[in-house]
Chains A and B, each alone.
Chain A
Amino acid sequence: MKKTIAIVEDEPAIRDNYAAAFTREGHAVRTYASRPLALQAFATRLPDLVVIDISLGDEPEGGYDLCRELRARSAELPIIFLTARDSELDAVSGLRLGADDFLTKDLSLAHLLARVNALFRRVEALTRPADGAQTVQRGVLTLDGERLQVLWQGEVVLLSLTEFWIVHAIARHPGHVKNRQQLMDAASVVLDDNTITSHVKRIRRKFQVVDPAFDAIQTVYGMGYRWVDPVG
C-alpha cells in the first residue's frame, strides 16, 4: 500500500525536489506551501508522514505550531522537521514538540529517504507485537532496532531518530571510542562538532530524566565518545 507523505515547505523548488524523490521511491506525495493550506487538507485526512519546514512563508515559526496541532490530533503520526538553521535544531529539540526527528536541509535526499523509511518501519513495528529479533540487550539498556526505541531500566527514553542512531552506534560496542565521523555516518547526518556535542548532551539529559545517575556515555576528548556499562 502506498504511503502518503505530506511536505509543508514554502520554497517551491525544494518542495518539488523532495516530492520528486519521494514519488520516485513509490510514495504518494502531497505538498503544501503554508500552514493554513496544510491544516485545511489535514482536517479531512491525515497523511502517513509529515515533513515540515520550520519557517513557513511569513510565519517564522509556523512549523512549530503546525507540529503542535498535528501531535494534538495524532500521537503516532511521524513528523520530521527540516530547518535551514543549525541554531533552530537546538531550539526545536529543546521544545519537545514531539517531532520524531530534526534535520538540517544539508541532508542528502538519500539520507532523508532512509529516515522516512525507518520511521515507516517503526510505525509498522509498533502495530505488531515485539518479536525481539533486532533487540540488543546490554545490562539495563535495551535497544529496539525495529521500533527505534531505547529502554533504560525498563523505561522508554524518548529519543529522536538521529539520537537513537547515535546511541545505537555508541552502545553496540561498549568501550570502543566512536568518533564524530562514525556517529554522523551512523545517524546519516552531516553535522559540525558543536551539533554532535549538543546531540550527545541532549541524549545524556534524556537518559537522566529516567535515571538521574546515568553516566554511561563518556567523552574521550579529541576522539569521540564511548559507552561504559554501568557497574553492577
Chain B
Amino acid sequence: MLIRTKLLLLGLATLALPWAGCQYVREIEGSLRLAESQSLLAVARTIATSLRGRRDLLFRGVDGPRSSEPAGPYDFQPLPLAAAPQLEARDDDWPSAKQSARRFASPRPGEQLEVRTATFERYLYLLVVAPVDRLVLDAGDGAALDPAASGDRVWIAYTTPDGQRAQLFVSAWSTGTVRGRRIATRELGRPELVEEPRVQGAWRRLGSSDASGGWMLELRLPLSMLGHEFGVLLDDRDARGAAPSSYGSLSPRELLPRGRLIAAAPELATYLAQFGQPGVRIAAATSDGSVLAETNALPQVADGLSGAQALLSQLYRRLLDRSSLAQRPLQTERGRLDAQQARAAAAGQGSTALFGAPGRQRLVVAAAAPVLDADSGRVIAMLQVAQTADRWLLLRDRALTRLLNLTLLAVAIVIGATLLFGARLALRLERVRRASDAAMSRDGQLRTDFPETSASDELGDVARGFSALLERLAEYTGYLRTLAGKLSHEIRTPLTIVRSSLENLETEPLGENARTYLARAREGSERLGAIVQAMGAATRVEEAIRSAERSRFDLAELLASATRAYGDAFPARRFQLEGADIPCPIFGAPELVLQMLDKLVDNAVDFSPPGSVVQLRLRNLGGPAITLEVENGGPSLPPDAGGRLFESLWQHRRGDDGRPHFGLGLYIVKLITDFHAGKARAENLAGAPGGVRFTIELARNLTEV
C-alpha cells in the first residue's frame, strides 16, 4: 500500500472526532430530555393531585363509585371530534376509529345494530347503523302513537344531569331530516307526542330499495341535557304495525338504560384549560385510557431551523440520530392515550415517553400520571401532559451542526495536511529511490550526489547513509579501476631487479643446466613484463587522453590505411571496409581513434574463426554523429553482457590464446569513445551466420559538443 493511502486512512481515523462529539451531544441531550420529562411529570402529578377524588369534576353526573369503573359492553365512550360532523347520516366525516362503536346483536342471526358516539364542543353525536335491516317507515305523522301505524323506531333513554329519567324516540316516517320526540302523559293518562327540538338528525337508506341494504341514522343531542346514564334501543319491524324485535342497551320493557355515558363533566375542559400553556397539551382520560377532555396547544407547524442550516441539520440527524425519527406517534388511536402510558397510569405509576408527531421532524414528550380516588386510592382517571421537544431538538441540532461543522473542518484540515505530508514524503522517497536507481549508471560509473542529504529527519539519515555508502563504493570501484595500473607500477621495480640480475647472470660462466634455467627465467620475466604492460594499458590510455591533442583528420583515410595494415597483421582474417570512399573529415584525436580501432579489431579477430571476414563499415549520414561498425562472425554475446561489456575488468573470454587479458580492451574503446562524445554498443547479428556487431558513434565536431 502506498504511504499516501496509509496516511489517508490514518487521517480518516480523525473521523472518530465528530463521532465522539455526537456522542457527547447526545448525552447532553439525553440528560436535558430527562430533566424536561421529570419536570413535565411533576406538572402532570400536580394536576392529577388537584383532581384527586374529584369525580364530579371529571365525569358527567355523579353516581358514586361506578362512574370511574372501566367501561362495560353497554357503556358509551364518545370520541372527541376535531370538527362537527354534518347531519346527513353519512359516516365519512366520522373518524375511522371504531373503538367508540358499540354493537348489539339482533335476535335474528346475522343482524346487528352498531351505535357510534362522539362529542364535539357541547354536543353528543350519535351514528346508528343497521346494515342488513330493512327500513320500515311509519304510516304518517299523526299516527305515531298508533301501534298499527308504527315502523322502525330508535329509542334513547337517559338520566338528566339532575338525575331524572327520560326517554325519547326517533321514528322513521321518512328519510332525511328527523327530530326527536317524547311521549308525555296528559291529563286522564292520555299519552301525547311532544317534539324534542334539541334532538336533530337525519335518516338514510343504505341499499337501493327498501328491502335490503339497511339504513343509517345520525343524531345530535346537546350534552347539557344528558346525565351519566344513557342507552339506545331499536324497535325493528318487518312490516308496519308488526310486533317489533327490540334490541340495544335499554331494557326492552321498561326502556331503562343499562349502561353509562362516560363523558367528561362540563367543567373539566375549563378546569384543564387553566393549566394550559402554549405548546402544551393536557388530556384527562378514563382509567382505561379513553380521553375525556383535552386542551391542545401543541404547535401545528415547526418553527425550527431554516434554509440550508435546516437541510444540513436534517442530514446530520438522518446520519446520526435515527431514534428521533422512529418514534411512535403520540396518538395511535383517536381518543385514546398511548397504551403503554395508560397501562402504567392504571397501575398507579407516573411515566414519561417520547413521541414523534406524525409527518413532522419533531418530537413530543409526554408525561402521564394517575388520578386517584380520595378514599380508596384506586385509579379513577389519568392525566397526560405533552409538550413539544423542539426546544432541545433545536438546541441539540444547533450544537450538533456547529460541532459537526467544526469537527468536519478539523478533519478536512487534518486529512488535507496528512495528504500533503504524505505526498511530500512520497515525493521525497521517490527522489531517493530514483537517485538510488540511477546511482550506478550503465557504464559502471557511480554518482555520489544524492538528494535529501541535507534533510534533518530520518529520511535525511537514510539519504546520508546511502550517500556515504555510495561514496565508499565509488572510492572502492575507483580503487579497483586504478588497481591494475598501480599494480603494474609496483611490480615493475622488482621485475627490473629480476631482469637486470638475470642479464648480469648471463655474463657469468655457467653450466649447461644453469643456462637452460636461466633461459626459462628470462622467458618468465618477459611474460611477466607483458602482463605488467597489459595491466597498465588502461591507465596509459587515460593519461594519453588527458594529454591528447585534437586535430582535423580524415576518418575515411585512417580507416582505409588501418584496414590495409590489419590485413598484413592478421593474415588469417579477411578485412572488408565499406563506406570509406568519400573523405570523412572529423575533429578529434586520430591516434586515439586508431587505438580504439585496434582494440575493436583485436577483439573481432580473437572471437572470429580463422578465414572469416571482419567487416568494417563507416556510415556518414550527415548528422552530428558518424557511425563506425566492426562486425565479426564469432559466437554471440551472452544476453546479460550488453551493459557490462564496456566496463573495466569485465571479460567473458573462453579459452586461452597465451596472451594476458584483463578485460581492458573494450574499456579502452569506451574511454576513447567518451573522449569523442560518442557512444559504444554491441549487439548480436540477426540471421543465420550470426556474429557480433560493435557500433561506435563519434561526434563529427568535438568542439561543438
Q: Which residues of A contact B (CB under 8 A)?
A: 11, 13-14, 17-18, 20-21, 24, 84-87, 90, 105-106, 108-110, 190, 192-195, 197-198, 201, 219-223
- Interchain CA distance A108-B564 in the complex, whole Å: 33
In the complex, the answer to whether B500 meets A18 with C-beta atoms within 8 Å is yes
CB nearest to A24 among chain B residues: B507
- Interchain CA distance A105-B490 in the complex, whole Å: 12
Closest 4 CB pairs of A and B: A222-B565, A222-B562, A17-B500, A221-B561
Known: A108-B499, A192-B537, A222-B594. A84 touches B557 (CB 8 A): no
* Cβ of A218 to closest chain B Cβ, rounded Å: 11
A-B contact pairs, 5 of them (CB 8 A): A24-B504, A106-B495, A190-B529, A221-B557, A223-B565
Excluding A18-B500, A110-B503, A220-B561, 19 further A-B contacts by CB distance (< 8 Å) are A13-B497, A17-B500, A17-B501, A21-B500, A21-B504, A24-B504, A24-B507, A86-B540, A109-B503, A194-B543, A194-B544, A194-B591, A198-B547, A201-B549, A219-B591, A221-B558, A222-B563, A222-B566, A222-B597
Instruction: Collect the chain B residues with CB atoms within 8 Å of residue A17's CB.
Output: 497, 500-501, 503-504
Instruction: Collect the chain B residues with CB atoms within 8 Å of residue A105's CB.
Output: 492-493, 496
- Interchain CA distance A147-B545 in the complex, whole Å: 35
Decide yes or no whether B174 CB sits under 8 A from chain A: no
Known: A13-B501, A86-B536, A198-B547. A221 touches B541 (CB 8 A): no
B residues 528-555 near A (Cβ < 8 Å) are 529, 533, 536-537, 539-541, 543-544, 547, 549
Known: A84-B493, A221-B590. A20 touches B504 (CB 8 A): yes
Instruction: Collect the chain A residues with CB atoms within 8 Å of residue B590's CB.
Output: 219, 221
Decide yes or no whether B595 CB sits under 8 A from chain A: yes
* Cβ of A186 to closest chain B Cβ, rounded Å: 19
- Interchain CA distance A129-B439 in the complex, whole Å: 69
In the complex, the answer to whether B493 meets A106 with C-beta atoms within 8 Å is no
* Cβ of B189 to closest chain A Cβ, rounded Å: 164
Instruction: Collect the chain B residues with CB atoms within 8 Å of residue A90's CB.
Output: 543, 547
What per-residue 1/0 map shows which CB atoms of B208-245 lie under 8 Å from chain A?
00000000000000000000000000000000000000
- Interchain CA distance A64-B595 in the complex, whole Å: 31
Instruction: Collect the chain B residues with CB atoms within 8 Å of residue A201's CB.
Output: 549
In the complex, the answer to whether A192 meets B504 with C-beta atoms within 8 Å is no
- Interchain CA distance A109-B28 in the complex, whole Å: 110
Instruction: Collect the chain A residues with CB atoms within 8 Å of residue B557's CB.
Output: 221
B residues 455-510 near A (Cβ < 8 Å) are 489, 492-493, 495-497, 499-501, 503-504, 507
In the complex, the answer to whether A14 meets B500 with C-beta atoms within 8 Å is yes
The residue that A11 contacts in the complex, of B493, B536, B598, with Cβ under 8 A, is B493
In the complex, the answer to whether A109 meets B493 with C-beta atoms within 8 Å is no
In the complex, the answer to whether B561 meets A223 with C-beta atoms within 8 Å is yes
Instruction: Collect the chain B residues with CB atoms within 8 Å of residue A190's CB.
Output: 529
Instruction: Collect the chain A residues with CB atoms within 8 Å of residue B537's CB.
Output: 192
* Cβ of A51 to closest chain B Cβ, rounded Å: 12
Instruction: Collect the chain A residues with CB atoms within 8 Å of residue B493's CB.
Output: 11, 14, 84, 105
Q: Which residues of B contact A (CB under 8 A)?
A: 489, 492-493, 495-497, 499-501, 503-504, 507, 529, 533, 536-537, 539-541, 543-544, 547, 549, 557-558, 561-566, 590-591, 594-595, 597-598
Query: What is the predominant secondary structure among interface residues of chain B facing chain A?
Result: helix
Instruction: Collect the chain A residues with CB atoms within 8 Å of residue B496's CB.
Output: 11, 14, 84, 105-106
The residue that A222 contacts in the complex, of B497, B504, B561, with Cβ under 8 A, is B561
* Cβ of A9 to closest chain B Cβ, rounded Å: 10
Contacts across chains A and B counted by CB atoms under 8 Å: 92
Instruction: Collect the chain B residues with CB atoms within 8 Å of residue A106's CB.
Output: 492, 495-496, 499, 529
Instruction: Collect the chain A residues with CB atoms within 8 Å of residue B536's CB.
Output: 86
The residue that B504 contacts in the complex, of A84, A109, A193, with Cβ under 8 A, is A109
- Interchain CA distance A85-B500 in the complex, whole Å: 17
- Interchain CA distance A193-B595 in the complex, whole Å: 8
CB nearest to A193 among chain B residues: B595
CB nearest to B566 among chain A residues: A222
Instruction: Collect the chain B residues with CB atoms within 8 Å of residue A108's CB.
Output: 499, 503
* Cβ of B659 to closest chain A Cβ, rounded Å: 14
Instruction: Collect the chain B residues with CB atoms within 8 Å of residue A219's CB.
Output: 590-591
In the complex, the answer to whether B595 meets A194 with C-beta atoms within 8 Å is yes
Known: A192-B533, A221-B558, A221-B590. A14 touches B497 (CB 8 A): yes
* Cβ of A191 to closest chain B Cβ, rounded Å: 10
- Interchain CA distance A55-B503 in the complex, whole Å: 24
- Interchain CA distance A109-B536 in the complex, whole Å: 23
The residue that B564 contacts in the complex, of A20, A110, A222, with Cβ under 8 A, is A222
* Cβ of B696 to closest chain A Cβ, rounded Å: 16
- Interchain CA distance A17-B503 in the complex, whole Å: 9
CB nearest to B560 among chain A residues: A221
In the complex, the answer to whether B544 meets A109 with C-beta atoms within 8 Å is no
A20, A87, A219 pick with most chain B CB within 10 angstroms: A87
- Interchain CA distance A214-B594 in the complex, whole Å: 23
Instruction: Collect the chain B residues with CB atoms within 8 Å of residue A11's CB.
Output: 493, 496-497
- Interchain CA distance A198-B595 in the complex, whole Å: 13
Instruction: Collect the chain B residues with CB atoms within 8 Å of residue A24's CB.
Output: 504, 507
- Interchain CA distance A190-B533 in the complex, whole Å: 11
* Cβ of B166 to closest chain A Cβ, rounded Å: 146
* Cβ of A222 to closest chain B Cβ, rounded Å: 3
- Interchain CA distance A20-B561 in the complex, whole Å: 47
- Interchain CA distance A140-B504 in the complex, whole Å: 44
Instruction: Collect the chain A residues with CB atoms within 8 Å of residue B598's CB.
Output: 193, 222
- Interchain CA distance A81-B702 in the complex, whole Å: 37
In the complex, the answer to whether A197 meets B543 with C-beta atoms within 8 Å is no
A21, A193, A201, A220 pick with most chain B CB within 10 angstroms: A193
* Cβ of A105 to closest chain B Cβ, rounded Å: 4
- Interchain CA distance A220-B591 in the complex, whole Å: 11
* Cβ of B690 to closest chain A Cβ, rounded Å: 27
Instruction: Collect the chain B residues with CB atoms within 8 Å of residue A20's CB.
Output: 504
- Interchain CA distance A194-B543 in the complex, whole Å: 10
In the complex, the answer to whether A21 meets B544 with C-beta atoms within 8 Å is no
- Interchain CA distance A133-B650 in the complex, whole Å: 56
CB nearest to B567 among chain A residues: A222
Instruction: Collect the chain A residues with CB atoms within 8 Å of residue B495's CB.
Output: 106
* Cβ of A219 to closest chain B Cβ, rounded Å: 7
CB nearest to B499 among chain A residues: A108
- Interchain CA distance A20-B502 in the complex, whole Å: 12
In the complex, the answer to whether B500 meets A194 with C-beta atoms within 8 Å is no
- Interchain CA distance A198-B544 in the complex, whole Å: 8
CB nearest to A82 among chain B residues: B496
Instruction: Collect the chain A residues with CB atoms within 8 Å of residue B561's CB.
Output: 220-223
Instruction: Collect the chain B residues with CB atoms within 8 Å of residue A110's CB.
Output: 503
Instruction: Collect the chain B residues with CB atoms within 8 Å of residue A221's CB.
Output: 557-558, 561-562, 565, 590, 594
A11, A14, A108 pick with most chain B CB within 10 angstroms: A14
Instruction: Collect the chain A residues with CB atoms within 8 Å of residue B539's CB.
Output: 87
Instruction: Collect the chain B residues with CB atoms within 8 Å of residue A222's CB.
Output: 558, 561-566, 594, 597-598
The residue that B540 contacts in the complex, of A13, A18, A21, A194, with Cβ under 8 A, is A194
* Cβ of A152 to closest chain B Cβ, rounded Å: 21
CB nearest to A113 among chain B residues: B503
Instruction: Collect the chain A residues with CB atoms within 8 Å of residue B489's CB.
Output: 84-85
- Interchain CA distance A109-B533 in the complex, whole Å: 19
CB nearest to A53 among chain B residues: B493
- Interchain CA distance A100-B227 in the complex, whole Å: 157
Instruction: Collect the chain A residues with CB atoms within 8 Å of residue B547's CB.
Output: 90, 198
CB nearest to B537 among chain A residues: A192
- Interchain CA distance A90-B503 in the complex, whole Å: 27
- Interchain CA distance A2-B28 in the complex, whole Å: 123
In the complex, the answer to whether A192 meets B500 with C-beta atoms within 8 Å is no
* Cβ of A213 to closest chain B Cβ, rounded Å: 16
Instruction: Collect the chain A residues with CB atoms within 8 Å of residue B563's CB.
Output: 222
* Cβ of B621 to closest chain A Cβ, rounded Å: 23
CB nearest to B555 among chain A residues: A221
- Interchain CA distance A139-B43 in the complex, whole Å: 142
A84, A192, A220, A222 pick with most chain B CB within 10 angstroms: A222
* Cβ of B372 to closest chain A Cβ, rounded Å: 123
CB nearest to A87 among chain B residues: B543
